Amino acid sequence: MPVDTKRVRGPDESQSPLIFLPKSAQKVVPKEGREDGRQRGQTDVRPVFARCGLVSQAKGSAYIEAGNTKLMCSVYGPREIERKDETDMKSGRLFCDFRFAPFSCQKRGAWIQGSEEKDFSLALLESLRPGVCLHKYPRSQIEVNVMVLENDGSVLAHAVTCASLALADAGIEMYDLVLGCSLRQDGATYLIDPTFPEESGSCVADNAENQGSVTVALLPSLNQVSGLQSDGEMGEETLVDAVRACIEGCHKLYPVVQQALIKSVRRKAPPPEN
């Protein structure tokens, strides 16, 4: 087995104390209602706090907090493309790197990027790309780095929102912002913007139909969906309703994100006093 010599290593094997918890102490998601007081079947997304321009070294950056989900994103570039073998030099390239901080999840994460992170990186890239005017940046690359500081559900959706804020903060030309919203379908009802316990599905009754989750990335003013991910089994109508609910959820985020952007623009170029 290859030995990782680049980090301070601990014991070969260690276990989270959570798996030794007695069954009675484990959290159960209520079958009715939601723990944080929100309603099932309504598009009440968690309150969001968004802020731009926190990373001094980056061209643009953003931080988003929704419930306990906290993540930040920084954008570097446009700079000269590193990979010269690309055939298509007429438009720029977008790179996305999605990472969980090791302490961000219930279970401690590994240092090396796992397949879930790779999957999220790709989903993020595909959701953002339609929103960015890449043809304005020939022969250049734009890097988007997302770091999840705390995972309390719906990380991909918030990562999309955060990354598009950071891109806008970096002054990258865009057609529109990209907003993300996700949803957990639980039988006939749904939980929008689910928390981690709601998302990971310990609330599922065993034989219920329509169990799944949907994440939508939306360009709000163009009313275009740039990313759609759906896992699990759902009837077609349920899926359509779920997507509609997510779109509605995105629109609820829009004013917050706009405010954050306005704030950052004001700070960069204060309006003339008169």
Partner 1 sequence: MAAGFKTAEPLEYHRSFLKENCRPDGRELGEFRTTTLNIGSISTADGSSLVKIGNTTVICGIKGELASPPADAPNKGYIVPNVDLPPLCSSRFRPGPPGEQAQAASQFVADVIESSGVIQREDLCIEKGKLCWVLYCDIMCLDYDGNLLDACLIALLAALKHVWLPEVTISKDTDLAEVNTDKKQHLSIAKHPISSSFAVFDDSIVIVDPTAEEESLSTAMMTVVTDEEDRLCTLHKPGGTSLSGEKLQDCISRAVTRNREVSKLINTVMHSVKPQNSIQQLPLLGTLARSSCVLTRVWEAVEREMVEHSKPQGSSARDLFDKL
Partner 2 sequence: MATVQVSEAEKVYIMHGVRDDLRVDGRGCEDYRHMEIETDVVSNTDGSAKVTLGHTAILVGIKAEIGKPRPMVADEGFLEFFVDCSANATPEFEGRGGDELGTELSNTLYKVFNNRNSIDLRTLCISPGEHCWVLYIDVLLLQCDGNLFDAISVAVKAALFNTRIPKVHISEDEEGGKEIELSDDPYDCMRLNVENVPCIVTLCKVGHRHVVDATLLEKACSEGGRGSLDPESIFEMTETGKRVGKALHAPLMEVLQKEESLGKKRQKVGFLG
Q: In this chain, which stretch among 35-43, 128-136, 155-163, 191-199 interacts with partner 2, using CB under 8 A?
A: 128-136
Nearest Cα residue to 160 out of 240, 258, 227: 227
What is the residue-wise DSSP string for 157-187? HHHHHHHHHHHHHTT--BSS--EEEEEEEET
Q: Is 109 helix (H, G, I), strand (E, B) or coil?
A: coil
Residue with Cβ nearer partner 1 (13 or 206): 13
Cβ contact 235:209 at 8 Å: yes
> Which residue from 70, 93, 158, 184 is in contact with partner 1, where contact means CB under 8 A?
70
Does residue 46 bind partner 1 (CB under 8 A)? yes
Q: Quick one: tokens of 122?
A: 């790709």
Between CA 26 and CA 29 the distance in angstroms is 10
CB nearer to partner 1: pick between 106 and 189: 106
Question: Using CB under 8 A, which of 244, 266, 267, 268 touches partner 2?
Answer: 244
Residue 213 C-beta: closest distance to partner 1, Å? 20
Query: Which amino acid type is present at position 183?
Result: L
22 binds, among partner 2, partner 1, none (CB under 5 to 8 A by kind): partner 1
126 sits near partner 2 (criterion: CB under 8 A): yes
- Local structure of 238: helix, strand or coil: helix
CA distance 212 to 184: 6
Backbone phi, psi, residue 210, to 5°: 55, 60
Q: In Å, how far are 57, 59, 76, 142, 234 from 80, measured between CA atoms?
A: 18, 15, 11, 9, 44
Should residue 264 be labelled a site residue for partner 1 when binding is judged by CB under 8 A? no
Residue 118 touches which member of partner 2, partner 1, none, C-beta under 5-8 Å by kind: partner 2
Q: Which of 129, 140, 149, 204 binds partner 1 (CB under 8 A)?
A: 149
Torsion region of 74: left, alpha or beta (phi above 0 gives left; psi -120 to 50 gives alpha): beta
The residue to which tokens 């349920």 are assigned: 238
Q: Cβ distance 200 to 193 under 8 Å?
A: no
Interaction of residue 105 with partner 1, rule CB under 8 A: yes
Tokens of 114: 């796992």
In the complex with partner 1, the residue whose CB is nearer, 2 or 272, is: 2
Q: Is 39 in the site for partner 2 (CB under 8 A)?
A: no
Residue 191 interaction partner, one of partner 1, partner 2, none, beta carbon < 5-8 Å per kind = none
Write down the least CB distance from residue 69 to partner 1, Å: 10
Binding site for partner 2 (CB under 8 A): 115, 118-119, 122, 126, 129-131, 219, 222-226, 228, 231-233, 236, 239-240, 243-244, 247
Binding site for partner 1 (CB under 8 A): 4, 6-11, 13-18, 20-22, 25, 45-49, 51, 54-58, 63, 65, 68, 70, 72-74, 76, 97, 99, 101-106, 108, 111, 143, 145-147, 149-152, 252-253, 255-256, 259
